[in-house]
Structure 1
Amino acid sequence: MGGRPLIGVSTYLEARASWRVWELPAALLPAAYPNLVRRAGALAALLPPDDPSYARSVVARLDGVVIAGGPDVEPGRYGARREELTGPPAPERDTWELALIEAALESGTPLLGICRGMQLLNVALGGTLVQHLDGHAVAPGVFGTHTVKPVPGTLYASLASDAASDVPTYHHQAVDRLGEGLTVSAHAEDGTVEAIELAPPAWALGVQWHPEMGEDTRVMAALVRAAS
């Protein structure tokens, strides 16, 4: 493997997907995720939803874990009732990714949550979510851009040199009550939580935006350095 860290990235599990002549159930992930892992200097291994009892064994073979973006977290996971604008659940993915997060935190394996992944990290540690907010998605299937501002003194601020930056974004849910041990490390201009993290010695960072859709590799490169 050329000495490059191996980064596991969680994936979708779709009951029906189409490509070329095929229409079958599929585990899938936008190619931008493994592309970003490679650009940051590591190798990507895709982790489709599986039996959660395997999570510790899987994480033990990895140098880092990414929980990717995707569907809304089932509200019952954080003790809430489903609201009208909350999307359909993905129970297999919720269960698998929560097990991966638990295994990564227990083992000290560096962990990065992207969009849904950040929200699920918060839920895994006892936090809650805002089930809908406006202004953070342009249109269905279209990424927008907005500005995020780091919180001084945080891990994310050290990666972003304390400077506000424009990031690719697409979401309608957000962190509400913080999970245990988490710190907010960036906000949007409207006050929405845009990054969360755990204090050292853990290396666990969540970002609400989609770094895989931009040119900036700093967040993924930081995970890869920690995984090295």
Structure 2
Amino acid sequence: MTRPIVGIISNSYLINDQYPAHAGGTMNSEAIAEVSGALPLLVPANPQFCDVEALLARCDGFLLTGGRPNVHPEEYGEAETEAHGTFDRDRDSLVLPLIRSCVERGQPILGICRGFQEVNVAMGGTLHPEIRDLPGRMNHRMPPDGTLEEKFEIRHDVTFREGGVFERLYGQRIVRTNTLHGQGIKTAGPRVVVDGYADDGTPEALYIAEAPGFTLSVQWHPEYRAAKDPVSRPLFEAFGQAVADWASGARPNTRAIA
């Protein structure tokens, strides 16, 4: 049986500070292949090499991955500052319109970390450049040193809106997650529903109101040990079902998420 195809958005890197490459974390591919049951396909995040219409035609859904570069503040009407960090304008140029197209078509997307932030910006929202500088906020960045296990350590609770999408997905209102991000949502886009928060008030889970398809996105990194983690697995399973439905020819005509 042919598996549905999930386009995994890559990030640009310089290998050995010389060789340009598009790369994606192995754990993203593992989560899509082993938990979502789909074929992972790495997408070069640059409009020079692919366009939105071609991607929509060839993939059944998209994983909007995390990444070190941030969405450029010009995309949400603010000036660049040192606090905004590094950028990937090619990814901005490709992925933001891709998100808007998927939302309107009902084609499934799952946003992770930067992908979570991209969904908010694509839908008209804004970002804080450094949330740890805000009064009362914790440091959500990953530890600069230590093992991979220490970087992806479970560090805080996320509380979902009562009766909301994420509570229905998990069957509980509070889950514990890792945290590896510096930026966060400042203002949610007009259709962005923030459905879960960290204890310090940082938005951690969202979906798009009145979207006909799957638009769940999270600020944490569920791809880490997704097959075994009780918070990660249901999210990737639900995404996999949505992608399989799209691949089978099912096209949503009512609100799938509300």
User: Fold-level match, TM-score > 0.5?
Assistant: yes
Measure the CA separation in 1 of the matches of 2:144 and 2:98: 29
Correspondence for 2:236:
220
Aligned pairs, number: 223
Q: 2:141 aligns with which of 134, 137, 142?
A: 137
Contact 1:72 1:86 survives alignment (8 Å)? yes
SS in 1 for 2:121: helix
Correspondence for 2:54:
57
Measure the CA separation in 1 of the matches of 2:202 and 2:213: 24
Measure the CA separation in 1 of the matches of 2:18 and 2:105: 38
Unmatched runs of 5 consecutive residues or more in structure 2 = 133-138, 146-150, 245-258
Listed one character per residue, the Cα deviations across residues 160-186 of structure 1 (whole Å, up to 9, x for unaligned) are: 212311112200111111112111111
Correspondence for 2:19:
24
Measure the CA separation in 2 of the matches of 1:170 and 1:58: 29
Contact 1:151 1:162 survives alignment (8 Å)? no
Counterpart amino acid of residue 238 in structure 2: A
Q: CA deviation at 1:85?
A: 2.2
Measure the CA separation in 2 of the matches of 1:69 and 1:26: 16
SS in 2 for 1:4: coil
Q: Output the TM-score relative to the length of structure 2.
A: 0.81
Correspondence for 1:36:
31
Q: 1:116 aligns with which of 107, 114, 121?
A: 114
Correspondence for 1:149:
159
Contact 2:105 2:213 survives alignment (8 Å)? no
Correspondence for 1:67:
64
Q: Which moved more, 1:95-104 or 1:22-31?
A: 22-31
Contact 2:4 2:38 survives alignment (8 Å)? yes
Q: CA deviation at 1:29?
A: 0.9
Aligned-pair identity (%): 33
Counterpart amino acid of residue 42 in structure 1: A
